[in-house]
Amino acid sequence: MTTSRPIRVHIAPAAIRANYRLAKSLASGARAWAVIKADAYGHGQWRAVEALREVADGFAVLECENAVALRQAGISQPILLLEGIFSADDVPAVIEHRLTTVVHCLEQVEWLRRAAGDGQPLSLCLKLNTGMNRLGFTADTLASALGILRQLPQVELTLMTHFAEADGERGIDWQLARFHELAGDWRGAVSLANSAAILRYPQTHGDWVRPGIMLYGASPFAEQSAADLGLRPAMTLASRLIGVQEIAAGERVGYGGTFTASRQMRIGIVACGYADGYPRQAPSGTPLAVGGCRTGTVGRVSMDMLACDITDIAAATIGSPVTLWGEGAGGTVAADEVAAAAGTIAYELFCAIAPRVPVEIGER
Ligand SMILES: *Cc1c(COP(=O)(O)O)cnc(C)c1O
């Protein structure tokens, strides 16, 4: 539903495509699963698929049903189930639709073995637990898994793992060492790198990389901006001023009166609140842009509105364009900056966009 209420989320397919191409150029020897889980990190699975249909080597999702829907929509590239199958009931779809599936536990091995013993081809990514300690085989279980899977007539195996701190100080060397220890003399395909590892650790690129957040134009690193990495924002959250208040020094703004004006101020009221997906925990001073000028929020974010300081933006008035994050008529603000101010990450901001926010496609 489009609305006269002015909030919009703009999705730029060209940015998603450019970011995918950047991932590919960084990991030039590898193929790349475009990670489109969580409705393409809030950008819309189908929008991301349309943006990448002609360029992606493969797509990675969570739900078997989603993978089948992609096949039914004519996607012929490999499709990866990132958490594998959730029960034996998923196996017929995996076989019928040639889905590549992560295998991270012996239960999954058993479900696949029973159904695939009769010569059906299977493409599997065997996940090793190298320190994330969520999913994957360890030294105790890997040999049994490999023993069973190698008995199956037509299995294509890739070894994979997932990095816990590729964006942080501890890096990936320790996990890479555990991976090589577990993999032994493995000569087959490997898939290791998420966005952070693609950008920072060429030695992890292997045969398939798995870019997620970078496709959407946010940085996986706290200390390095998306723009510095050459990424283009794919999502802009934009709105307009719907109110202006002139307040005297000593006046407070918003619920709880958490902000007190230290001077006479002009306050702009933006049609955007936590029910639109803007983070309620964003404190006073969280960056946004109004009429081409950057400023900060003041007071608490409410359900449908937030307030900002327009004292020094003389031209700002009702109807002035506001950019909450992204690149819009209101100005430019990186989602990562908003996330940092609010104590979260751009991943969460993107995924939290509420269904009530109308979506527009294309560059503005
Ligand atoms: C989500 C996910 C990715 C993508 O991670 P980003 O940090 O968004 O690049 C890669 N691999 C796996 C297994 C994932 O679940």
pLDDT, residue 1, reads: 83
**Residue 95 and residue 40: Cα distance in Å, rounded?**
25
pLDDT, residue 152, reads: 86
**Fold entry, domain 235-361:** Lyase, Ornithine Decarboxylase; Chain A, domain 1 (2.40.37)
Work out the angle at residue 213's Cα, subtended by the Cα atoms of residues 288 and 329, and round it to the nearest 5 degrees: 30
**Residue 318 and residue 299: Cα distance in Å, rounded?**
19
* Rounded distance from Cα 144 to ligand 1 centre (Å): 27
**Fold entry, domain 13-216:** TIM Barrel (3.20.20)
| Dihedral of alpha carbons 29, 189, 77, 226, sign | negative
pLDDT, residue 363, reads: 62
Average pLDDT of the chain to the nearest whole number? 96
Q: What pLDDT band is residue 238 in, cutting at 50, 70 and 90?
A: very high
Q: Atom 4, ligand 1: which residue's CA is nearest?
A: 212
* Rounded distance from Cα 111 to ligand 1 centre (Å): 25
Give which of 307, 305, 310, 297 is closest to 342, Cα–Cα: 297
* Rounded distance from Cα 48 to ligand 1 centre (Å): 15
Q: What is the mean pLDDT of residues 205-221?
A: 98
The CB of 127 under 6 Å from ligand 1? The reply is no
Q: Other CB atoms closer than 10 Å to residue 81's CB: what's the count? A: 24
The CB of 102 under 6 Å from ligand 1? The reply is no
Q: What is the mean pLDDT of residues 221-247?
A: 98
**Residue 332 and residue 289: Cα distance in Å, rounded?**
7
Hey, where are the domains in the chain?
Answer: 13-216, 235-361
Give which of 6, 9, 3, 38 is closest to 215, Cα–Cα: 38
Cα–Cα distances in angstroms (integers) from residue 98 to residues 49, 71, 253, 361, in the given order: 18, 9, 57, 31
pLDDT digits (tens, 9 = 90+) for 267-276: 999 999 999 9
The CB of 268 under 6 Å from ligand 1? The reply is no
Does residue 261 have a pLDDT over 60?
Answer: yes
* Rounded distance from Cα 283 to ligand 1 centre (Å): 29
pLDDT, residue 36, reads: 98
Residue 255 known to be catalytic? yes
Q: What is the pTM of this model?
A: 0.96
pLDDT, residue 255, reads: 97
Ligand 1 atom at shortest distance from the alpha carbon of 37: 1
Q: What is the mean pLDDT of residues 301-315?
A: 98
The CB of 161 under 6 Å from ligand 1? The reply is no
Give which of 159, 352, 171, 185 is closest to 273, Cα–Cα: 352
> Which of 39, 129, 160, 210 for mutating ligand 1's site (highest number of atoms within 8 Å of CB)?
210
Catalytic residue among 20, 37, 216, 274: 37
pLDDT digits (tens, 9 = 90+) for 13-70: 999 999 999 999 999 999 999 999 999 999 999 999 999 999 999 999 999 999 999 9
Q: What pLDDT band is residue 151 in, cutting at 50, 70 and 90?
A: confident
Ligand 1 atom at shortest distance from the alpha carbon of 214: 9
Residues 6+ apart with CB under 8 A from 126: 102, 103, 137, 142, 145, 146, 149, 157, 158, 159, 160
Q: What is the mean pLDDT of residues 152-158?
A: 91
**Residue 215 and residue 37: Cα distance in Å, rounded?**
12
Does residue 326 have a pLDDT over 80?
Answer: yes
Least confident of 104-118, 160-174, 285-299, 324-338: 104-118
Work out the angle at residue 359's Cα, subtended by the Cα atoms of residues 290 and 308, and round it to the nearest 5 degrees: 20
* Rounded distance from Cα 192 to ligand 1 centre (Å): 10
**Residue 319 and residue 100: Cα distance in Å, rounded?**
49
The CB of 191 under 6 Å from ligand 1? The reply is no
**Residue 133 and residue 151: Cα distance in Å, rounded?**
28
pLDDT digits (tens, 9 = 90+) for 85-129: 999 999 999 999 999 999 999 999 999 998 776 778 999 999 999
> Which of 19, 26, 66, 82 for mutating ligand 1's site (highest number of atoms within 8 Å of CB)?
82
The CB of 34 under 6 Å from ligand 1? The reply is no
The CB of 237 under 6 Å from ligand 1? The reply is no
Does residue 364 have a pLDDT over 60?
Answer: no
**Residue 151 and residue 128: Cα distance in Å, rounded?**
20
Residue 37 known to be catalytic? yes
pLDDT, residue 362, reads: 84
The CB of 220 under 6 Å from ligand 1? The reply is yes
pLDDT, residue 119, reads: 79
